[in-house]
Structure 1
Amino acid sequence: MTVRLSGALSDFVAANVGEHGSYENVSEYMRDLIRRDKERTEREALDRLKAELAHAYAAPESSYQPLTAAEVIARNRA
């Protein structure tokens, strides 16, 4: 995989890599950025799921209706 950076982005990466930076090399820096982005994406997905579940559990009991597995599958296909 090749990544090309120029200007301010290249300077920023250079400042974070090497003797005075937090990372030994650019590959280490990129792996860390990707891991952090992956964690953020997963955290956001979990937060959305929690919000949906909180909304569902806050609904009054009278709004629930019994469904068969076939009805749920059919509804989700639509």
Structure 2
Amino acid sequence: MELHNKDLGTLFEQLGLDSDQKSMDAFFASHSLAHDTKLSEAPFWTPAQAAFLREEIREDAEWAPLVDELNARLHEQ
């Protein structure tokens, strides 16, 4: 699958989270990170989710731009 077909909703699906707009809005309303907390170290991820996020950023892989967007959204609270 090419990146241009992916959005934040598809990242939520990849993470095993509900990806409809209402669910994503609820996720962001109830989850945030302190500025010094790395995305992959957030306590609300499963070990598999954290590993996926860590790997995508480390490898600058195809999901990295969306992981960056998720990171920014969680840190803006």
Q: Which has the higher contact order (CA 8 A, sep 6+)?
A: 2
Bin the TM-score by the shorter chain: under 0.3
Computing the radius of gyration from Cα coordinates, the structure with the larger value is 1
Q: TM-score, length-normalised on structure 2?
A: 0.24
